[in-house]
Amino acid sequence: MTETVLQLDNVSKKIGQKEIVHNISFDVRKGEVFGLLGPNGAGKTTIIRSIVRLIKKTSGEVHISGVNVDENFKDAIKNVGAIIENPEFYMYMSGFNNLKQFARMSRKDIPQERFVEIVEQVKLSHAIHNKVKTYSLGMRQRLGLAQALIHEPDLLILDEPTNGLDPQGMREFRELIRSLAQNGTSVLISSHLLSEIQQITDRFAIINHGKLTHIESMHELEKEAKVTIQLEVSDPEAAKLVLESLDIEIKAQVEQQLTLELASDFVPEIARSLVKANIDILELAKVHVSLEDRFLALTNGGETK
């Protein structure tokens, strides 16, 4: 059985008579990257802040590595690294001295070799002894990750971590998160950048109007949802007859290229049928299903009431 690192059971938060989040339940497994999605104001940050007790939830339970956060906060939180909103630093100190300062606050003893290891892991070796005020936004994000990871937590929590990053910074961030997960760290990541979430997560939950409406794995999303296929063939008219016999709708045609929409697992059947009809397949390209389409369908266009 896969180990559960984070467990939320019926977490709710009220402010006055207004319920911000309602009976939220989900788990994050060991070595899993779990995405928390929702429109602005849906309650994502409230959930994250409730997990680490930056705000007090109204009801429900949170367990981290099997420890109840309310009953034994210190033991639970020692297994967590987090960046909530923007990481903050002493700007006139070096990155290395910022890390040392943060390490002093940890309940774990952090050996000197761990500093070297984590700096290399976040690719800051070349600048770690420079003052943080000279760092780019991407470098500050990596330093924030180093702070969050230096005590080797079981769970890493990130709230909108790619805000302001350029494409190169986003790519480096994705590679680092996947590497952490492969080495056993669980990651809970909140973001409105759906394309980023699609490239990085194993499962995702959608929060809308403070309620959890959907949990799905990326594998299930890509398997069940329809995908767009761009198919170039030697004889488009003959190919159209084959596709019509399979009840495949042709969305568009430009010369020898046909655009189709169908279930992902039906693609091999199309290829077999065309080859059997002696039609050469010059190109077959699958346009991956978009998490954005799924998100909009499940949140009424992503609008809040």
Write out pLDDT tens, residues 80-117. 999 887 788 999 999 999 999 988 887 778 888 899 99
Q: Is residue 242, in this structure, part of any structural domain at all?
A: yes
Mean confidence (pLDDT) of the chain = 85
- 146 and 29 in a common domain: yes
Q: Is residue 305, in this structure, part of any structural domain at all?
A: no
- 206 and 253 in a common domain: no
Q: Is residue 114, in this structure, part of any structural domain at all?
A: yes
For residue 305, pLDDT over 60 is answered with no
Q: Are 77 and 64 in contact (CB under 8 A)?
A: yes
> What is the mean predicted confidence (pLDDT) over 52-61?
93
For residue 164, pLDDT over 70 is answered with no
- 231 and 179 in a common domain: no
- 107 and 199 in a common domain: yes
- 211 and 254 in a common domain: no
Q: Are 148 and 82 in contact (CB under 8 A)?
A: yes
Q: Is residue 297, in this structure, part of any structural domain at all?
A: no
For 29, how many CA atoms within 13 A lie in the half-sphere containing its CB? 10
- 72 and 182 in a common domain: yes
Angle at 219 between CA 218 and CA 223, to 5 degrees: 115
Rounded percentage of the chain residues whose pLDDT exceeds 90: 39
> What is the mean predicted confidence (pLDDT) over 35-64?
90
- 186 and 234 in a common domain: no
Q: Is residue 108, in this structure, part of any structural domain at all?
A: yes
Q: Is residue 304, in this structure, part of any structural domain at all?
A: no
Q: Is residue 17, in this structure, part of any structural domain at all?
A: yes
For residue 158, pLDDT over 50 is answered with yes
For residue 257, pLDDT over 70 is answered with yes
Q: Are 7 and 154 in contact (CB under 8 A)?
A: no
For residue 33, pLDDT over 70 is answered with yes
Distance, in Å, from the CA atom of 160 to the CA atom of 170, rounded to the nearest integer, reads: 12
Task: Write out the residue range of the structural domain in which residue 196 sits.
Answer: 4-216
> What is the mean predicted confidence (pLDDT) over 165-186?
85
Q: Are 143 and 89 in contact (CB under 8 A)?
A: yes
Tally of domains in the chain: 2
- 105 and 48 in a common domain: yes
- 182 and 88 in a common domain: yes
- 157 and 102 in a common domain: yes
pTM of the model: 0.77
- 232 and 163 in a common domain: no
- 99 and 73 in a common domain: yes
Q: Is residue 44, in this structure, part of any structural domain at all?
A: yes
Check which CATH number belongs to the domain holding 232 and give it. 3.30.70.260
